[in-house]
Amino acid sequence: MNGHYRCDEISVLISGYLDDELTQQQQQRLFLHLQQCSDCQQQFDQLQLLQQSMQQGLTQEGLSMREDDRIQQQLNEPKTRLLRRAGWLLAGFGAAPLLAYGLYQFWHDPQVPVWMKFSLSAFWLGGLVVFISVLRQRIRERKTDRYNKVKL
């Protein structure tokens, strides 16, 4: 084939080229051989394609991971956390008196039968117990798995 290089030597040059390790002179010799040898040209094309698709895959993976990190960071940003907590607090303070008032009115309404008073109270108490147990679990999960994804 080519006077300077044999095909098995060219395959070494190809991998060297893909790793960006060849000198200018070696590159020239490689391409000179590729122009004359279709076997090596084919090998070169395949390896280059393979490398490109691998790099593309890695880059895409890296990008999506970075995007994930960015969203995660935004969610965990102190300002966002504070706002969310303030919102919950405000809603709680607003709802508590309303709820208490409603319950008070309900309990002192002579038209409401006693069994319904007890039934509804039990219902609320049950709901409260469930709420607290869920809250406790959330807090425990947060403590044990700080790096878990934030669920809104």
Interaction site with Zn ion (CB under 5 A) = 7, 10, 37, 40
CB 13, min distance to Zn ion, A: 10
CA separation for the pair 27, 71 (Å, rounded): 44
Tell me the HSE value of 144 on the side-chain side, using a 13 A CA sphere.
6
What length does the chain have? Answer: 152
CB 4, min distance to Zn ion, A: 11
CA separation for the pair 106, 143 (Å, rounded): 40
43 vs 75, beta carbon nearer Zn ion: 43
30 vs 99, beta carbon nearer Zn ion: 30
Helix and strand numbers, DSSP H then E, in the chain: 5, 0
The answer to whether 42 and 75 have CB atoms below 8 angstroms apart is: no
**Tokens of residue 133, six digits:** 């147990």
30 vs 40, beta carbon nearer Zn ion: 40
7 vs 125, beta carbon nearer Zn ion: 7
CB 18, min distance to Zn ion, A: 16
CA separation for the pair 31, 38 (Å, rounded): 11
CB 37, min distance to Zn ion, A: 3
